[in-house]
Amino acid sequence: MKTKTALKWTIGVIAVVILMAVGAVVLLFVAFIVSMERGEKHQRQIRAEQDSGRWDFGDQPALFAVAQGIVKNDPDAIRAAAKSVPDLQAPGRYGATLLNFAVMQSWQRPESVEAVRTLLSLGADPNYRERSRNSFAMANAVHASALVLRAMLETGGNPNTRDEFGQPIILMNWYLGYYKNQARSRLELLLDRGADVNSAMPEDRLTLGIRCCFTARRWDSVTASLMQMRCSCSSAAPMRIAPGLTE
Protein backbone atom coordinates (compact mmCIF):
# COMPACT_ATOMS: atom_id res chain seq x y z
CA MET A 1 0.00 0.00 0.00
CA LYS A 2 2.83 2.34 0.97
CA THR A 3 4.63 1.44 -2.24
CA LYS A 4 1.59 2.37 -4.34
CA THR A 5 1.20 5.63 -2.44
CA ALA A 6 4.86 6.50 -2.95
CA LEU A 7 4.57 5.64 -6.64
CA LYS A 8 1.54 7.86 -7.03
CA TRP A 9 3.29 10.63 -5.16
CA THR A 10 6.34 10.31 -7.39
CA ILE A 11 4.22 10.34 -10.54
CA GLY A 12 2.38 13.39 -9.24
CA VAL A 13 5.64 15.24 -8.58
CA ILE A 14 6.97 14.36 -12.02
CA ALA A 15 3.71 15.53 -13.64
CA VAL A 16 3.89 18.83 -11.74
CA VAL A 17 7.51 19.33 -12.80
CA ILE A 18 6.63 18.59 -16.42
CA LEU A 19 3.68 20.97 -16.31
CA MET A 20 5.86 23.69 -14.79
CA ALA A 21 8.51 23.14 -17.47
CA VAL A 22 5.93 23.25 -20.26
CA GLY A 23 4.41 26.37 -18.71
CA ALA A 24 7.81 28.03 -18.51
CA VAL A 25 8.47 27.25 -22.19
CA VAL A 26 5.07 28.63 -23.14
CA LEU A 27 5.67 31.79 -21.10
CA LEU A 28 9.08 32.27 -22.70
CA PHE A 29 7.57 31.83 -26.15
CA VAL A 30 4.80 34.31 -25.40
CA ALA A 31 7.35 36.78 -23.99
CA PHE A 32 9.46 36.37 -27.14
CA ILE A 33 6.46 37.04 -29.41
CA VAL A 34 5.46 40.10 -27.38
CA SER A 35 9.03 41.39 -27.48
CA MET A 36 9.19 40.87 -31.25
CA GLU A 37 5.92 42.72 -31.73
CA ARG A 38 7.12 45.59 -29.60
CA GLY A 39 10.40 45.69 -31.54
CA GLU A 40 8.58 45.72 -34.87
CA LYS A 41 6.25 48.45 -33.63
CA HIS A 42 9.26 50.50 -32.54
CA GLN A 43 10.92 49.97 -35.93
CA ARG A 44 7.73 51.06 -37.71
CA GLN A 45 7.64 54.20 -35.58
CA ILE A 46 11.26 54.98 -36.42
CA ARG A 47 10.65 54.42 -40.15
CA ALA A 48 7.58 56.65 -40.01
CA GLU A 49 9.62 59.40 -38.35
CA GLN A 50 12.40 58.98 -40.90
CA ASP A 51 9.99 59.11 -43.83
CA SER A 52 8.25 62.20 -42.44
CA GLY A 53 11.49 64.07 -41.83
CA ARG A 54 10.86 64.29 -38.09
CA TRP A 55 13.74 61.96 -37.32
CA ASP A 56 16.29 64.23 -39.01
CA PHE A 57 14.75 67.67 -38.58
CA GLY A 58 12.10 67.43 -35.86
CA ASP A 59 14.20 69.39 -33.38
CA GLN A 60 14.56 72.33 -35.80
CA PRO A 61 11.13 73.71 -36.79
CA ALA A 62 12.38 75.74 -39.77
CA LEU A 63 14.15 72.77 -41.35
CA PHE A 64 11.28 70.45 -40.48
CA ALA A 65 8.83 72.73 -42.30
CA VAL A 66 10.93 72.42 -45.48
CA ALA A 67 11.17 68.66 -44.96
CA GLN A 68 7.39 68.45 -44.77
CA GLY A 69 7.19 70.23 -48.12
CA ILE A 70 9.64 67.68 -49.51
CA VAL A 71 7.56 64.78 -48.24
CA LYS A 72 4.46 66.30 -49.84
CA ASN A 73 6.50 67.00 -52.99
CA ASP A 74 5.05 70.51 -52.97
CA PRO A 75 7.42 73.07 -54.58
CA ASP A 76 5.37 76.02 -53.32
CA ALA A 77 5.45 74.74 -49.74
CA ILE A 78 9.19 74.15 -50.00
CA ARG A 79 9.81 77.68 -51.27
CA ALA A 80 7.61 79.23 -48.60
CA ALA A 81 9.25 77.29 -45.78
CA ALA A 82 12.76 77.88 -47.15
CA LYS A 83 12.36 81.63 -46.57
CA SER A 84 12.87 80.93 -42.87
CA VAL A 85 16.05 78.92 -43.50
CA PRO A 86 19.06 81.19 -44.10
CA ASP A 87 21.33 78.26 -45.01
CA LEU A 88 19.92 75.30 -46.94
CA GLN A 89 23.10 73.35 -46.14
CA ALA A 90 22.33 73.63 -42.41
CA PRO A 91 22.55 70.15 -40.88
CA GLY A 92 19.72 68.54 -39.03
CA ARG A 93 20.06 65.79 -36.48
CA TYR A 94 22.90 63.38 -37.30
CA GLY A 95 24.21 65.75 -39.96
CA ALA A 96 21.35 65.27 -42.42
CA THR A 97 20.81 67.92 -45.10
CA LEU A 98 17.56 68.83 -46.78
CA LEU A 99 18.89 68.08 -50.26
CA ASN A 100 20.10 64.64 -49.25
CA PHE A 101 16.74 63.99 -47.60
CA ALA A 102 14.96 64.89 -50.85
CA VAL A 103 17.31 62.73 -52.93
CA MET A 104 16.76 59.73 -50.66
CA GLN A 105 13.01 60.32 -50.75
CA SER A 106 13.22 60.00 -54.53
CA TRP A 107 14.76 56.52 -54.30
CA GLN A 108 11.29 55.04 -54.01
CA ARG A 109 9.24 58.06 -55.08
CA PRO A 110 10.32 59.14 -58.58
CA GLU A 111 7.97 62.13 -58.49
CA SER A 112 10.19 63.62 -55.74
CA VAL A 113 12.49 64.88 -58.49
CA GLU A 114 10.40 68.06 -58.28
CA ALA A 115 11.40 68.55 -54.65
CA VAL A 116 15.07 68.03 -55.59
CA ARG A 117 14.82 70.54 -58.43
CA THR A 118 13.13 73.07 -56.16
CA LEU A 119 15.87 72.87 -53.54
CA LEU A 120 18.55 73.20 -56.21
CA SER A 121 16.80 76.25 -57.67
CA LEU A 122 16.81 77.80 -54.20
CA GLY A 123 20.57 77.43 -53.93
CA ALA A 124 21.14 74.03 -52.32
CA ASP A 125 24.68 72.91 -53.15
CA PRO A 126 24.71 69.48 -54.87
CA ASN A 127 28.34 68.96 -53.82
CA TYR A 128 27.95 69.85 -50.16
CA ARG A 129 28.91 67.08 -47.76
CA GLU A 130 30.20 66.74 -44.25
CA ARG A 131 31.30 63.78 -42.19
CA SER A 132 27.79 62.42 -41.91
CA ARG A 133 26.66 60.01 -44.62
CA ASN A 134 23.31 61.82 -44.45
CA SER A 135 24.84 64.80 -46.24
CA PHE A 136 26.20 63.00 -49.34
CA ALA A 137 23.42 64.13 -51.67
CA MET A 138 25.46 63.90 -54.88
CA ALA A 139 26.73 60.41 -54.09
CA ASN A 140 23.24 59.24 -53.20
CA ALA A 141 21.83 60.71 -56.41
CA VAL A 142 23.41 57.89 -58.40
CA HIS A 143 20.92 55.51 -56.75
CA ALA A 144 18.01 57.72 -57.78
CA SER A 145 16.33 58.10 -61.15
CA ALA A 146 18.18 59.50 -64.15
CA LEU A 147 16.08 62.66 -63.85
CA VAL A 148 17.33 63.29 -60.31
CA LEU A 149 20.94 62.64 -61.31
CA ARG A 150 20.54 64.97 -64.31
CA ALA A 151 19.17 67.73 -62.09
CA MET A 152 22.14 67.39 -59.74
CA LEU A 153 24.68 67.38 -62.57
CA GLU A 154 23.08 70.32 -64.37
CA THR A 155 23.45 72.47 -61.26
CA GLY A 156 27.14 71.73 -60.89
CA GLY A 157 27.18 68.28 -59.30
CA ASN A 158 30.58 66.60 -59.47
CA PRO A 159 30.42 63.38 -61.54
CA ASN A 160 33.66 62.21 -59.89
CA THR A 161 32.45 62.56 -56.33
CA ARG A 162 32.73 59.63 -53.94
CA ASP A 163 30.40 58.16 -51.38
CA GLU A 164 31.08 57.98 -47.65
CA PHE A 165 33.30 54.93 -48.21
CA GLY A 166 35.43 56.70 -50.80
CA GLN A 167 33.97 54.76 -53.72
CA PRO A 168 33.46 56.60 -57.04
CA ILE A 169 29.78 56.99 -57.85
CA ILE A 170 30.23 55.80 -61.42
CA LEU A 171 30.94 52.36 -60.00
CA MET A 172 28.07 52.47 -57.53
CA ASN A 173 25.75 53.19 -60.45
CA TRP A 174 26.25 49.55 -61.45
CA TYR A 175 26.27 47.81 -58.13
CA LEU A 176 23.40 49.57 -56.38
CA GLY A 177 20.38 51.64 -57.30
CA TYR A 178 16.61 51.58 -57.08
CA TYR A 179 16.17 52.11 -60.83
CA LYS A 180 18.12 49.27 -62.40
CA ASN A 181 16.57 49.86 -65.82
CA GLN A 182 18.03 53.39 -65.81
CA ALA A 183 21.64 52.33 -65.17
CA ARG A 184 22.60 53.00 -68.78
CA SER A 185 21.01 56.47 -68.74
CA ARG A 186 22.76 57.37 -65.49
CA LEU A 187 26.10 56.12 -66.86
CA GLU A 188 25.73 58.23 -70.02
CA LEU A 189 24.93 61.28 -67.90
CA LEU A 190 28.05 60.76 -65.81
CA LEU A 191 30.24 60.19 -68.87
CA ASP A 192 28.85 63.28 -70.61
CA ARG A 193 29.83 65.33 -67.56
CA GLY A 194 33.37 63.98 -67.48
CA ALA A 195 33.27 61.07 -65.06
CA ASP A 196 36.65 59.31 -64.87
CA VAL A 197 36.27 55.59 -65.65
CA ASN A 198 39.72 54.90 -64.18
CA SER A 199 39.02 56.29 -60.73
CA ALA A 200 40.91 54.29 -58.09
CA MET A 201 39.07 52.30 -55.46
CA PRO A 202 40.35 53.13 -51.97
CA GLU A 203 40.35 49.71 -50.35
CA ASP A 204 42.21 47.64 -52.92
CA ARG A 205 43.48 50.31 -55.32
CA LEU A 206 41.97 48.44 -58.26
CA THR A 207 41.07 50.84 -60.99
CA LEU A 208 37.51 51.23 -62.06
CA GLY A 209 38.73 50.38 -65.55
CA ILE A 210 39.22 46.79 -64.43
CA ARG A 211 35.81 46.75 -62.80
CA CYS A 212 34.08 48.28 -65.82
CA CYS A 213 35.44 45.61 -68.15
CA PHE A 214 34.02 42.83 -65.98
CA THR A 215 30.83 44.70 -65.22
CA ALA A 216 30.17 45.27 -68.92
CA ARG A 217 30.02 41.53 -69.38
CA ARG A 218 27.48 41.14 -66.58
CA TRP A 219 24.97 43.90 -67.32
CA ASP A 220 23.80 44.17 -70.91
CA SER A 221 21.95 47.39 -70.06
CA VAL A 222 25.21 49.33 -69.96
CA THR A 223 27.35 47.63 -72.60
CA ALA A 224 26.20 49.91 -75.41
CA SER A 225 27.44 52.91 -73.47
CA LEU A 226 30.65 51.18 -72.45
CA MET A 227 31.45 50.59 -76.11
CA GLN A 228 31.76 54.35 -76.48
CA MET A 229 34.60 54.61 -73.96
CA ARG A 230 37.89 52.89 -73.19
CA CYS A 231 38.56 50.79 -70.12
CA SER A 232 42.16 50.73 -68.93
CA CYS A 233 42.44 47.17 -67.64
CA SER A 234 45.49 46.78 -65.39
CA SER A 235 48.71 47.65 -67.22
CA ALA A 236 47.46 46.49 -70.59
CA ALA A 237 46.75 48.87 -73.41
CA PRO A 238 43.30 50.50 -73.36
CA MET A 239 40.74 48.10 -74.74
CA ARG A 240 37.25 48.43 -76.10
CA ILE A 241 34.41 46.16 -75.06
CA ALA A 242 34.02 43.51 -77.74
CA PRO A 243 30.93 44.12 -79.95
CA GLY A 244 29.98 40.45 -79.57
CA LEU A 245 29.22 41.00 -75.88
CA THR A 246 26.20 43.16 -76.58
CA GLU A 247 22.70 41.83 -77.15
Residue 25, pLDDT above cutoff 50: yes
Residue 216, pLDDT above cutoff 60: no
In the chain, where the domains are located:
65-196
CA distances from 103 to 71, 82, 123 (A): 11, 17, 15
Helix (H), strand (E) counts: the chain? 12, 0
Under 8 Å between Cβ of 78 and 66: yes
Taking the model in full, what pTM does it have?
Answer: 0.70
CA 57 vs. chain centroid, Å, equals 18
Digit-coded pLDDT (tens) for 27-48:
666 666 666 565 665 566 656 6
Rounded to whole angstroms, the Cα distance separating 179 from 4 reads: 77
Residue 156's region, left for phi above 0, alpha for psi from -120 to 50, else beta, is left
Under 8 Å between Cβ of 221 and 244: no
The per-residue pLDDT of the chain, averaged, comes to 77
CATH class for the region spanning 65-196: mainly alpha
Number of neighbouring beta carbons within 10 Å of residue 195? 24
Q: Would you state the pLDDT for residue 54?
A: 86
Number of neighbouring beta carbons within 10 Å of residue 90? 14
Q: What's phi and psi for 119, nearest 5 deg?
A: -60, -40
